[in-house]
A and B are shown apart, each in its own frame.
Chain A
Amino acid sequence: MTRTPADDAAESAGLAALERRAAGLLQDSAEGLDARLRSRLNQARQAALASLPQHSRLNLAWRRWVPAGAVAAVALLALMLVNQPGVSPPGAGAAPALVAAGNLDDLEILTDKDAMEMSDMPDYDFYEWADSEAEGT
């Protein structure tokens, strides 16, 4: 025997009807629980809600403000960077170039091979001693 589309449709309709009927019965039985069971479920719910951890409550409250705080912090940081002394806003290109050039000069002095070594500095202790000797004589 081969199944026809009509058989499939009839089966689907039968299953759907059975499902509706079963679901209706079960939902009615759930909604019609007696007062004692409803009271027990209510007590269970209140006990569960009372167990909501304090730190979670705080986290829940503060979590709402995290995005706003992050945006404010980023805006503040951007404002501080733009208004930094010696740094001009984008478009005024001359000032940053001068600052960069000054920094490079300092670097050259420090790395110059011909720069005066600290060991080449005059021995001030010797001159002070010689001066005091001369005054003594």
Chain B
Amino acid sequence: MASFGSLSVLSPAWRDAGKVLLQDSTQDKTGELNRFLASVERRAFRIAQIGLRHEQDALDAVQDSMLQLVKSYATRPAGEWRPLFYRILENRVRDLQRRRTVRDRIMSWMPWQPGEEEDAQADPIAQAADPAPDPGTRVESGQMMEALEQALQALPARQRQCFLLRSVEGMDVAETAAAMQCSEGSVKTHHFRALQALRARLGEHWQ
């Protein structure tokens, strides 16, 4: 606010020029963030979906991660956003996994399921199935995709995270280490073990 206050001592022409610069700069940053989030959101959703095995939870995790990145790290250089975003996403996925574990324990003692009532009141448009089968659906329905997802879900969380960041998101070792908050040596170890485990599980499908 002090910054705007100082504008009042300037002539109207300078004040207008300052406001235009402020708006341009804000639009630049918003546009930059928009482009970044648009570039990662689909892969981030798939990564969350594999970790959570639940579409709505995966959407929630991605949305929360986007909000957190924008609120807390928008002022950071754009080059830092990707590891930060995936670090937030992994934490969110872990939180949701824990919460779901607790919820499932509690629900197992209940005679009724409140989720059924929520589903009945859900927005029918949002719930409507997409009539046209798309390439993603076709791939997911394939035997190889199913086998791959099962193999990934069987991996320890850190190995799975490392594999997905390196292979799917295409991060280098340094970026992955920043996202996982571990050393680059640990990234290499996790990645190698993940590949070995995947080969052991997928060998019969993939050879």
Contacts and interface: CB of A to CB of B under 8 A. Distances in A.
Nearest to B145: A25
Contacts, number: 138
Interface residues of A, number: 41
A61 B67 contact: no
Contact of A41 (B45, B126, B196): B45
B63 interface: yes
A93 interface: no
A36 B145 CA distance: 21
Contacts of A53: 71
A1 to B, nearest CB: 18
Contacts of B164: 26
B38 A45 contact: yes
A74 to B, nearest CB: 19
B30 interface: yes
A40 B192 CA distance: 35
B21 A61 contact: yes
B167 A19 contact: yes
A15 interface: yes
* B interface, over-half SS: helix
Interface of A: 14-15, 18-19, 21-23, 25-38, 40-42, 44-45, 47-49, 51-53, 56-64
B21 A32 contact: no
Interface in B42-63: 42-43, 45-46, 55, 59, 62-63
B45 A30 contact: yes
A45 to B, nearest CB: 5
9 contacts: A19-B167, A22-B148, A25-B145, A32-B136, A34-B130, A34-B136, A61-B22, A61-B26, A63-B75
B195 interface: yes
A53 B25 CA distance: 14
Contacts of A49: 30, 33-34, 37, 70
A37 B199 contact: no
Contacts of A44: 41, 59, 62-63, 66
A45 B75 contact: no
Contacts of B4: 58
A89 to B, nearest CB: 32
A25 B136 CA distance: 10
A57 B29 contact: yes
A68 to B, nearest CB: 12
B206 interface: yes
B3 interface: yes
B89 interface: no
A57 B41 CA distance: 23
Contacts of B136: 28-34
